[in-house]
């Protein structure tokens, strides 16, 4: 069992040197990787999931040839996608190996000591977040230490999925976290990306099949810009805002999100070929927030 640490500084260790993640996560991996945690069943029948999130500083590539000194959860920006089912007991072991104090602030319903605001974890410190996952929907987590702009922008965020008790219909599920990088620290983003590298999915199109149901968990963690957006070519999607309802909000091909907002998109392609998806702020699209689906004809293996 993990005991939460007291809030005040106990003195900090000297900053640990940058370390490599065990396997460097790239945007394609983040697209389809879900961390379901270590699953155990409690005596009362409840499912318990344990996650380990470690914050550490790491230099990442945010566009071809451009490095950025990021603060990461488990070595990637965005951090791992935490996934669970409504009603599960969650234990998040947080270890701070960065050079600055951090926390993990989860969106959702939970007690105050699992909110990740007042229990600031110093470098070298640890904390355990204990909560029951509710309600179902698409949420996110991020660091909540001041200055907020900096702690979020440096890369400490990730998606947090709480599945409804009755699972959603089967589909090819993709996680897309929209973000930006201000590499020269002038208060404006130089690059906009999905899952961490500018233009990545434009250069590595995502393979899909005609008729295959697709579900995108879309999260906006872009700093400095008021809003971001997602536009899909050649198709429309069912929009589930925040994913907290099983009835779709509307059917559209463009959705606008402010920072912290998220939504679930469901669609399937009718025609084969390459279809773009990108922000409909053209400026963001031209600065790296551009991707493509490579839709193969039915029954052709990717």
Q: Which is nearer to another protein, 19 or 67 (CB)?
A: 67
* Residue 198 interacting with another protein (CB under 8 A): yes
Which of 286, 297, 298, 300 forms a contact with another protein (CB under 8 A)?
A: 286
Q: Does 18 bind another protein (CB under 8 A)?
A: no
226 Cβ neighbours under 8 A, 6+ residues apart: 258
Please report the DSSP string for the chain in residue order. Answer: --PPPPSS----PPPPPP---SS---HHHHHH--B--EEEE-TTS-EEEEEEEEEEEEEEEEETTEEEEEEEETTBSS---EEEETT-EEEEEEEE-SSS-B--EEPSS--GGGSSSSSPBPTT-EEEEEEE--S-EEEEEE--PSSHHHHHHTT-EEEEEEE-SSPPPP-EEEEEEEEEE-TT-SSS-SEEEETTBTTHHHHSPEEEETT--EEEEEEE---SSSEEEEEETT--EEEEETT--SS-SEEESEEEEETT-EEEEEE--SS-EEEEEE-SSHHHHHTT-EEEEEEEPTT---
Among 19, 38, 41, 64, binds another protein (CB under 8 A): 64
Which CB sits closer to another protein, 60 or 159? 60
Residues 6+ apart with CB under 8 A from 163: 83, 84, 85, 86, 136
Decide whether 189 or 221 has the Cβ nearer to another protein: 189
Selected from 18, 134, 203, 283, the binder of another protein by CB under 8 A is 283
Q: Quick check: 14 binds another protein (CB under 8 A)?
A: no
15 is a contact residue toward another protein (CB under 8 A): no
Q: How far is the CB of 21 from another protein (least distance, A)?
A: 20
Q: How far is the CB of 261 from another protein (least distance, A)?
A: 24
Q: Which is nearer to another protein, 45 or 65 (CB)?
A: 65
Nearer to another protein, 289 or 293 (CB): 289
- Least gap, CB of 164 to another protein (angstroms): 40
Residue with structure tokens 């370390």? 19
Q: What are phi and psi of 213, to 5 degrees?
A: -70, 130
- Interface with another protein, residue 149, by CB under 8 A: no
Of 67-126, which residues contact another protein (CB under 8 A)? 67-68
> Least Å distance between CB 179 and another protein?
15
Residue 197 binds another protein, judged by CB under 8 A: no
Least distance from C-beta 186 to another protein, angstroms? 7
Q: How far is the CB of 230 from another protein (least distance, A)?
A: 19
Interacting residues with another protein between 170 and 189 (CB under 8 A): 181, 183-184, 186
Stretch that binds another protein, among 23-31, 149-157, 263-271, 283-291 (CB under 8 A): 283-291
Distance (Å, whole) CA 173 – CA 133? 20
279 in Cβ contact with 192 (< 8 Å): yes
Q: Which is nearer to another protein, 23 or 184 (CB)?
A: 184
Instruction: Summarize as ranges the residues that interact with another protein (CB under 8 A).
Output: 62-68, 181, 183-184, 186, 190-191, 198-199, 283, 286-288
């Amino acid at each position: 069992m993990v005991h939460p640490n007291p809030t005040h500084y106990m003195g900090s260790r000297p900053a640990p040197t940058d370390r490599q993640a065990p396997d460097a996560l790239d945007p394609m991996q983040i697209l389809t990787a879900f961390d379901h945690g270590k699953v155990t069943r409690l005596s009362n029948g409840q499912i318990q999931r344990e996650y380990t999130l470690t914050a550490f500083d790491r230099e990442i590539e945010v566009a071809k040839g451009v490095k950025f000194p990021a603060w990461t959860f488990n070595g990637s920006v965005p951090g791992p996608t935490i996934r669970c089912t409504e009603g599960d007991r969650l234990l998040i072991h947080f270890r701070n190996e960065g050079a600055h104090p951090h926390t993990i602030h989860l969106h959702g319903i939970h007690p105050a000591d699992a909110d990740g605001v007042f229990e600031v974890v110093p470098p070298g410190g640890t904390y355990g977040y204990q909560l029951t996952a509710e309600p179902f929907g698409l949420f996110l987590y991020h660091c909540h230490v001041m200055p907020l702009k900096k702690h979020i922008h440096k890369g400490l965020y990730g998606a947090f999925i709480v599945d409804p008790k009755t699972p959603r219909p089967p589909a090819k599920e993709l996680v897309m976290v929209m973000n930006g990088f201000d590499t020269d620290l002038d208060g404006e983003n130089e690059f906009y990306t999905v899952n961490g590298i500018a233009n990545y999915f434009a250069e590595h199109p995502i393979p899909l099949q005609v008729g295959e149901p697709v579900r995108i968990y879309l999260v906006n963690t872009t700093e400095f810009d008021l809003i971001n957006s997602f536009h899909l070519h050649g198709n429309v999607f069912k929009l589930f805002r925040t994913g907290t309802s099983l009835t779709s909000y509307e059917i559209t091909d463009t959705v606008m999100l402010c920072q912290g907002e998220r939504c679930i998109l469901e669609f399937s392609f009718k025609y084969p070929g390459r279809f773009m998806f990108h922000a409909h702020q053209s400026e963001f699209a031209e600065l790296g927030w551009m991707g493509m689906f490579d839709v193969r004809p039915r029954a052709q293996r990717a």
